[in-house]
Amino acid sequence: MNKYLVIGGVRSGKSRYAEQLAQQHALSDGLNVVYVATAEAFDNEMKERICHHKRSRPKHWQTIETGPELVNTLSKIDRQAVILVDCLTVWLNNCLYYDAINWQLEKSQFLKWLETTEHTVIMVTNEVGFSITPDNPLARQFADEQGWLNQGVAALASNVTFTIAGIPHAIKQH
């Protein structure tokens, strides 16, 4: 099946594009969309972001809210579906937030799942490599891990689209 990575900066239109892509695949393949949301509401601003995303997607889509154990959640989706994961960046942030989580293990399990799944999977992620090198160890670790995660996912993806100012640009197509 197809695997898509939609990458861009904050408010670049990546989620909206990924949702359109999921809808197109669902209609053409006769499948349902399973929206896997990785965000956790740690504060009021994040609660509002989550509400905005909930309002923007079709009501008939199944939504699964997951914490840091993304692969465990994905592995439980047994019926054929178009899976939209929004977003890998927030998933990484949550994994680093919870010190007890082994990020390297989570990442390797995710990449293995992605490589072997029969689902059409659309993943949203942020490009964080355009900024300066952060001034503290945790922020540098986050930027490094995000870059490595994006590279690993892009290598497995059949299609990679970069969004900027609401405009999608195909950078890898198969």
The rounded Cα 58 to chain-centroid distance in angstroms is 18
Mean local confidence (pLDDT), 97-125: 94
The more confident residue out of 94 and 56 is 94
Mean local confidence (pLDDT), 127-136: 87
Q: What is the distance between the alpha carbons of residues 125 and 156, in angstroms, rounded to a whole number? A: 14
Q: DSSP for 95-108?
A: HHHSTTS-HHHHHH
Judge whether residue 160 has pLDDT over 90.
yes
Predicted TM-score (pTM) of the model is 0.94
Residue 10 labelled as part of a binding site: yes
Residue 86 labelled as part of a binding site: yes
169 is annotated as an active-site residue = no
Residue 143 labelled as part of a binding site: no
CATH of 3-172, one of 3.50.50.60, 1.10.357.10, 2.70.150.10, 3.40.50.300: 3.40.50.300
Mean local confidence (pLDDT), 9-15: 93
Judge whether residue 154 has pLDDT over 80.
yes
Mean local confidence (pLDDT), 123-146: 91
The answer for residues whose C-beta is within 8 angstroms of residue 32's C-beta and 6 or more apart is: 26, 60, 61, 62, 79, 81, 82
Judge whether residue 1 has pLDDT over 80.
no
Domain boundaries along the sequence of the chain: 3-172
Per-residue model confidence (pLDDT) at position 54: 83
Per-residue model confidence (pLDDT) at position 130: 86
Residue 152 labelled as part of a binding site: no
Kindly name the residue from 52, 53, 119, 169 that is annotated as catalytic: 53
In 50-80, which positions are buried (b, 16+ CB within 10 angstroms) versus exposed (e)?
Answer: beebeeebeeebeeeebebbbbebbeeeeee
Per-residue model confidence (pLDDT) at position 78: 85
